[in-house]
């Protein structure tokens, strides 16, 4: 797939996977509309990608607000004449067991990860149907099998996957491509901003960043998946193994996930 002149909308574009996606799409010749909560970061990124300002657009976007999502999509459509690719990447994580977590944390996860996807998809869909375009949800291995200590994260990613799969089926004969990308643990800001049991940012990642896939590599694999019109992109061995074991030995997978998460520093699991 030639991405030159393709019109791409990316949420959560100011850091991590979203930032890497914006840079890679721009390098491939696409026109990029970016949404995130930090206008300052978006403005700096837009100048970096295209000093002329002709091939980029940005909108301060809180994806939990329907009006912000509508403005982002409409800005892209007005500036570029439509939308070819929507990447719903904005997301937050958490780290707390359900027994101890405030329910407000789970509501926040659902608002950002699930409703943020729904809000953007609602307003992008007419343009994507017109262009026979692609909608991509950046999910997680936690959207394939429940991840202990991340109840809200897994629930929101499962919800995202169910929504996107249904959207694919509803538009089966209309030329819409729907892809679910499932990175494993990625070296990005999402863990530093992960919410604790009471809703504060955890601040320090409990995992070794050096052993994780980079955001740039995740972005390249997502873009390759869009080019190949894939349904699902599993990024690494963990994702493929999770899918395989879940089919044949889900109880074993429960124990493996528990053991894996118990190795984290200060893990509530022993």
Question: In the chain, where are the structural domains located?
Answer: 7-262
CB 10 within 8 A of CB 26: no
Looking at the annotation, which residues are catalytic? 153
User: If we measure between CA atoms, which residue out of 94, 93, 97, 77 comes closest to residue 85?
Assistant: 77
> What CATH number labels 7-262?
3.40.50.720
pTM for this prediction: 0.93
The predicted pLDDT at position 204 comes to: 61
Question: Which residues on adjacent β-strands are paired with residue 234?
Answer: 182
Q: What is the DSSP letter of 31?
A: E
Residue 7 CA to residue 74 CA, distance in Å, equals 12
Distance, in Å, from the CA atom of 50 to the CA atom of 27, rounded to the nearest integer, reads: 10
pLDDT in tens, the chain (270 residues): 799 999 999 999 999 999 999 999 999 999 999 999 999 999 999 999 999 999 999 999 999 999 999 999 999 999 999 999 999 999 999 999 999 999 999 999 999 999 999 999 999 999 999 999 999 999 999 999 999 999 999 999 999 999 999 999 999 999 999 999 999 887 666 556 789 998 888 766 555 555 679 999 999 999 999 999 999 999 887 888 999 999 999 999 999 999 988 888 888 876
Taking residue 226's Cβ as centre, other Cβ atoms within 10 Å add up to 25
- The phi, psi pair for 85, rounded to 5°, reads -140, 130
- Closest of 171, 175, 168, 68 to residue 123, by C-alpha: 68
| The two structure tokens encoding residue 56 | 């980029």
Gap between the Cα atoms of 152 and 97, Å rounded: 10
* CA–CA distance, 20 with 215 (Å, rounded to integer): 6
């Amino acid at each position: 797939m030639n991405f030159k002149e393709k019109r791409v909308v990316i949420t959560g574009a100011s850091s991590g996977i979203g930032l890497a996606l914006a840079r890679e799409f721009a390098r491939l010749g696409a026109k990029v509309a970016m949404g995130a909560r930090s206008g300052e970061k978006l403005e700096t990124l837009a100048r970096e990608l295209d000093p002329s300002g002709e091939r980029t657009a940005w909108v301060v976007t809180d994806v939990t607000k329907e009006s912000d999502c509508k403005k982002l999509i409409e800005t892209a459509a007005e500036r570029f004449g439509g939308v070819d690719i929507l990447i719903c990447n904005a997301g937050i994580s958490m780290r707390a067991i359900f027994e101890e977590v405030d329910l407000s944390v789970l509501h926040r996860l659902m608002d950002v990860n699930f409703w943020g996807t729904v809000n953007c998809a609602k307003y992008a869909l007419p343009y994507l149907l017109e262009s026979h375009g692609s909608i991509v949800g950046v999910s997680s291995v936690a959207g394939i099998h429940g991840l202990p200590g991340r109840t809200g994260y897994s629930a929101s990613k499962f919800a995202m996957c169910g929504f996107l799969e249904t959207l694919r089926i509803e538009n089966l004969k209309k030329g819409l491509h729907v892809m679910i990308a499932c990175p494993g643990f990625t070296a990005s800001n999402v863990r530093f901003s992960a919410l604790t049991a009471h809703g504060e940012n955890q601040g320090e990642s409990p995992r070794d960043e050096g052993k994780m896939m980079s955001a740039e590599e995740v972005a390249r694999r997502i873009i390759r998946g869009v080019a190949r019109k894939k349904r699902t992109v599993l990024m690494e061995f963990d994702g493929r193994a999770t899918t395989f074991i879940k089919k044949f030995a889900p109880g074993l997978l429960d124990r493996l996930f528990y053991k894996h998460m118990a190795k984290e520093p200060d893990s509530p699991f022993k």
